[in-house]
Amino acid sequence: MRDGDIDYSGYALPELEEALAGINRLQYPRNYANLRAAYEALGSTLPAAPQAQSPVAAEIVDVRPQPRYDERGRYIPNRIPGRELASHVVFSLAILTYGAYGVWVNDLYVPGRRSRGVHLHDITAWLMFGAIVCACVVMVSIVVDHYDRRDNERSYRAISGVAGGIGWILFGVSLLWGVFQ
């Protein structure tokens, strides 16, 4: 069973009230929207949302962003400010250009905060360029997700997570190999 599969139209008022008291709105947003619509259809006012959860329940709740739905169960696409979108695109192009130039001249410089930085050559430069490409994939996936109006944010989050993980591994291996070479 998936979120949104439950039909609450045949439920009685006490059953709807019990379901409203126990549903996790973050984990099951479609079911919650369907439940609210069925409750409102019976002509009653909605009960107040629970004020606070117990500490045990607060640990179980998933805090990752979830898709949002309106009162009729329709998907609401996410919105990201234009300045943030532009910064993702510009920064992606900048670091991609920097990395490509560093690989082309076979000297990819990674500045350090408290040191002079590291100059990467040959395979270590290519590994760092791979990490840069992964960072660009993460940033561009946010931009593409903003313009994609379908309910597939989980797919973009998965792509971003995989690219981010691979990027951090490449970054670490490249730096460690470059420092100890």
Q: Mind listing the pLDDT tens digit for each residue in 130-179?
A: 999 999 999 888 888 777 777 777 788 888 899 999 999 999 999 888 77
pTM: 0.58
- Listed in sequence order, the residues at least 6 apart from 39 whose beta carbon sits closer than 8 Å to its beta carbon are 8, 13, 16, 17, 20, 46
DSSP lists the bridge partners of residue 108 as: 120
